[in-house]
């Protein structure tokens, strides 16, 4: 399998030509949002400058072309996820909206007192909070699948809380803090034996892993465009057709109705249009297609291998220096969580900023996991296809110099 040609890839990302605080930009925050290649920017620009029209409405030529571009993006995402049909792909504003749609539509209609919902301490808030809300309003009970000693979701931990009362398992595919990959296929098998549905948060998985929803046999899976080289403001929800077709919309408006009667006898279109009320994020959705094509062109397997090499290198280099705590040395993707002993990560982030290095500091929208780690916050490096060992070297230099500066009272 050919290795990534990182230097060629870097030429496709205009932002890497920028500087920050007078230094060459070292972008290590792709877990928050990825950079966008020129192919994505050009697709958005094409719609905004030459193909601007609303979709599914106008009968004039440009409107038809815009609709074709929009639906072509849906077909590309469906193919990318291995969906049986594009009708199983709903465009949303991102993974957060996708996860909330499942909870608000399926959850509110199907859960009640005595039912149980399983999540974990590894979840991003957008995966767990919608189900907290459902539990609050329906009387269902939330249960947590315990993590193993490394902070991973294990099948043994899941089995310890699964029961005949379990109706939903809402679980992350890849942790946004630890970079761990969950055994989703096996989780789906266990949940389905209990008659439960599985809603997968794949926001951090889609940029890195080959996903086939039919092989995973999941019921719902949510992704977001901006973490996988695509635009902000757009994501997608995959749902099994029979489930989507049984669900009621939660947002109402134009273009999602079959017929409207002011006395309430209104009927709705079939999915996905039932769940796409109003004018969608057309330009951003169109930008998802070249993002998917770019990832396929590079190869998801190659991306995963490249990230693992960078993580191993980063761990090796950081461990050469005392006073640096790493919380996920066995990360499965390009995410590394660490702290400089005795220095708050927010303070340390200012050192990285001064050196032109972008990385995240905080609780990463995963406060239960921070409690599990017994840390108020962490630094998080998240490498991607355009990063190289020089970026890791810059990170390590800044970490070491920053640590020494705080020890010597410079800051």
Cα(93)–Cα(204) distance, integer angstroms: 16
List, by residue range, all CATH 3.40.640.10 domains of the chain.
41-296
Q: What is the pTM of this model?
A: 0.96
Which of the residues 188, 218, 358, 365 is marked catalytic?
Answer: 365
* pLDDT reading at 144 higher than 50: yes
Higher per-residue pLDDT: 405 or 268: 268
Say what the pLDDT of residue 134 is: 98
Q: How many residues does the chain have?
A: 411
Higher per-residue pLDDT: 404 or 399: 399
Q: If you search the block for the tokens 């669900």, which residue do you land on?
A: 247
Q: Is 188 a residue of the active site?
A: no
pLDDT in tens, 178-219: 999 999 999 999 999 999 999 999 999 999 999 999 999 999
Task: Single out the residue of 372, 384, 321, 404 nearest to residue 144, CA to CA.
Answer: 372
Work out the pLDDT band at 153, boundaries 50, 70, 90: very high
List, by residue range, all CATH 3.90.1150.10 domains of the chain.
6-30+299-407
CATH pick for 6-30+299-407 out of 3.90.1150.10, 3.40.140.10, 1.20.1090.10, 3.40.50.720: 3.90.1150.10
CATH class of 41-296: alpha beta
Say what the pLDDT of residue 263 is: 82
Torsion angle of the four alpha carbons 234, 238, 241, 247, in this order, in degrees rounded to the nearest 10: -60
Q: For residue 167, how far is the Cα from the chain centroid? A: 24
Write down the mean pLDDT value for the chain: 95
* pLDDT reading at 407 higher than 80: no
Q: If you search the block for the tokens 């757009």, which residue do you land on?
A: 234
Tell me what the mean pLDDT of segment 347-354 comes to.
92
Say what the pLDDT of residue 1 is: 41
């Amino acid at each position: 399998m050919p290795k990534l040609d990182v230097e060629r890839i870097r030429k496709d990302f205009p932002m890497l030509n920028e500087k920050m605080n007078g230094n060459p930009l070292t972008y290590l925050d792709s877990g928050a949002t990825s950079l966008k290649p020129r192919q994505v920017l050009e697709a958005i620009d094409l719609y905004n400058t030459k193909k601007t029209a609303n979709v599914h409405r106008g009968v004039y030529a440009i409107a038809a072309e815009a609709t074709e571009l929009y639906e072509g993006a849906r077909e590309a995402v469906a193919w990318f996820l291995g969906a049986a049909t594009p009708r199983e792909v709903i465009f949303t504003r991102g993974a957060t909206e996708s996860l909330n749609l499942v909870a608000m539509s399926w959850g509110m209609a199907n859960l009640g007192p005595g039912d149980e919902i399983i999540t974990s301490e590894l979840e991003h808030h957008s995966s767990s909070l919608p189900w907290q809300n459902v539990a609050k309003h329906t009387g269902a009970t939330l249960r947590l699948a315990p993590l193993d000693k490394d902070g991973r979701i294990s099948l043994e931990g899941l089995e310890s809380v699964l029961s005949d009362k379990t109706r939903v398992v809402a679980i992350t595919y890849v942790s946004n803090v630890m970079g761990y990959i969950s055994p989703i296929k096996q989780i789906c098998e266990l949940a389905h034996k209990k008659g439960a549905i599985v809603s997968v948060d794949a926001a951090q998985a889609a940029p890195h892993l080959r996903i086939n929803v039919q092989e995973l046999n999941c019921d719902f899976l949510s992704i977001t465009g901006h973490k996988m080289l695509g635009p902000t403001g757009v994501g997608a929800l995959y749902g099994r057709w029979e489930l989507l077709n049984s669900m009621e919309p939660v947002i109402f408006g134009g273009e999602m109705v079959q017929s409207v009667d002011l006395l309430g006898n209104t009927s709705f279109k079939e999915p996905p249009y039932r769940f796409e009320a109003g004018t969608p994020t057309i330009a951003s959705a169109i930008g998802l297609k070249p993002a998917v094509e770019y990832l396929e062109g590079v190869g998801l397997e190659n991306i995963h291998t490249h990230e693992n090499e960078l993580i191993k290198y980063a761990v090796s280099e950081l461990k050469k220096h005392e006073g640096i705590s790493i919380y996920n040395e066995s990360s499965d993707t390009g995410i590394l969580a660490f702290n400089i002993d005795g220095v708050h990560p927010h303070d340390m982030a200012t050192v990285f900023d001064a050196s032109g290095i972008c990385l995240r500091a905080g609780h990463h929208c995963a406060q239960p996991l921070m409690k599990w780690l017994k840390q108020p916050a962490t630094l998080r490096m998240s490498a991607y296809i355009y990063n190289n060992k020089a970026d890791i070297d810059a990170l390590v230099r800044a970490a070491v110099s920053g640590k020494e500066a705080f020890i010597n009272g410079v800051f």
